[in-house]
Structure 1
């Protein structure tokens, strides 16, 4: 019997211009690219982190954050195994928007799917003490791990996604499927 990893689904969500696409580009390609256009609809990216002795197969859905695309974005939360909810930490914390993204995810995703929050664009903030205070407030209010990240410098990106992958593996440890070759030799009907 051949077993292979099931593709796990992670959704990246948050308001427009929070830096979601740049964050994914940093994770996948290890570089920062200035001037990405806003995502329309969604884009997917494959990522294969190692957790313990296993390589996970994760597909990351980079969703549009613009208000007119919110209903489309929430479609990609369906049956998701985890989420990164992102906000621009250099701006005022969008508390109501974070509530919207988290609630939308919880309504559509798999039960107990882990969420992390990314306080992105940390490179734009000189007062790190104020940033840490902001992050602590967000963590206290929402009850999810909050990571200080910067797509530009790479700060916190790999650590946050690795943490999420480990949490997903804890919640969904048996995410394997039986390879289709195994079923080709089976006879139809009951084998009782």
Structure 2
């Protein structure tokens, strides 16, 4: 299991995917720099941000990939997030079109061997009162269908922005720790195991 006191740096690749205009670049910039930049950013292919962060006492070398979301670019951006350690599938809580596209993005993430996936609804600041509860129920339904975690955030107000990232970091680090332990045990077994000649019946008789 992941030990929070481990000092070893880990390389973690996380991608933000989803339809265009849902706020992928705004979310990425908010998390990386802590700033909100109003206006629409047209991402061509994908932008990559690098940052070292601390998770407990462990250093994470984060490679954050902000991808384009235009339909004609989807076949081009797949290689950017292929085999990603974690993926945030983002949609706009005020856009039914982006919500309806979530299943397609979930399938795309799985086709590209992405390890950990979370669903995130952005622009929660534009929802008020009972509409927030309705949005939460809608997102929970599709998240439960695919056995995924989900979050509602606002890149503009910085509401809950860190939560999906932190969740991915914990899941990825735990998985990497288990894989490292299994590999170490396998290597140790291969080194210490003494080959024995003879047939199985002879050895066990």
> Could you say which residue in structure 1 is the equivalent of 2:116?
114
3-state SS of the aligned residue for 1:104?
helix
After TM superposition, give the deviation of residue 141 of structure 1 in Å. Answer: 2.4
TM-score under structure 1 length normalisation: 0.82
Conserved in 1, the CA contact under 8 Å of 2:50 and 2:61? yes
**Does residue 151 in structure 1 map to residue 130 in structure 2?**
no
Residue 65 of structure 1, aligned match among 62, 69, 75? 69
Closer/same/farther in 2, CA of residues 143 and 174 from structure 1, 3 Å limit: closer
Conserved in 2, the CA contact under 8 Å of 1:13 and 1:63? yes
Deviation digits for residues 72-95 of structure 1, max 9, x if unmatched? 111112221110000111121645
After TM superposition, give the deviation of residue 169 of structure 1 in Å. Answer: 0.6
Q: Which one has the largest radius of gyration?
A: 2
- The RMSD of aligned alpha carbons is 2.0
Give structure 1 stretches of 5+ with no counterpart: 177-192
Closer/same/farther in 2, CA of residues 90 and 109 from structure 1, 3 Å limit: same
Conserved in 2, the CA contact under 8 Å of 1:18 and 1:87? yes
Residue 51 of structure 1, aligned match among 31, 50, 55? 55
- Name the one with the larger helix percent: 2
**Higher relative contact order (Cα pairs below 8 Å, separated by 6+ residues):** 1
After TM superposition, give the deviation of residue 4 of structure 1 in Å. Answer: 5.8
